[in-house]
Amino acid sequence: MSAERPDFDAGRNLLLLGERRIIFHCHHYNLFLQRSIEDGLGPEEATRLQVAAAMESARPLLTKLYAKEPELALVDKLLLAQRLFGSLGFGQADCTDLTAHGGQIRLLTSHYAIGWLAKWGTASRPVCHFPVGFWMGALCAAAELPPERLQGRELSCHAQGDARCLLEIEVL
């Protein structure tokens, strides 16, 4: 499976993945953006917004990538998403417990949790909103589910002092 490799369009100076433009940001940018949204909206609304935005960026991207290899089983699609998650710099994930009915994703490392600890110390609440949305989008695309059927949350967060981040996706 090589569908997760980005293509560089030198003529337009663009990095494309699944025919979509992508850009990389460091933890400084991502976490300041996240904190600015939280300061403006409050933590609950900011979390909902960030999870939804992440899902809506991951879902169409992964739908295009999965379409390039239509013979892939659900487990293989999720493993492709797992590799993509890591290669984009978001961390190392273990999605082996995720099925078409939902499940858990263990983040062995998390760009957001590690960055938060480095910048601001221990967090008072979970901070891995993008990973929650990414995995909701990955499951939506892999199982061909409508987004409104999924709910996700972070059960434990390394930024709060937990050993690992643990995400949960529910299919309603």
Q: Where in the chain are the domains?
A: 27-171
13 confidence band (pLDDT: 50, 70, 90): low
Task: Kindly report the backbone phi and psi dihedral angles of residue 43, in degrees, each rounded to the nearest multiple of 5, phi listed first.
Answer: -65, -40
User: pLDDT per residue over 85-143, tens digit each?
Assistant: 998 889 999 999 999 999 999 999 999 999 999 999 999 999 999 999 999 999 999 99
pTM, to two decimals: 0.87
CA 83 vs. chain centroid, Å, equals 11
Query: CATH 3.40.50.620: does it fit domain 27-171?
Result: no
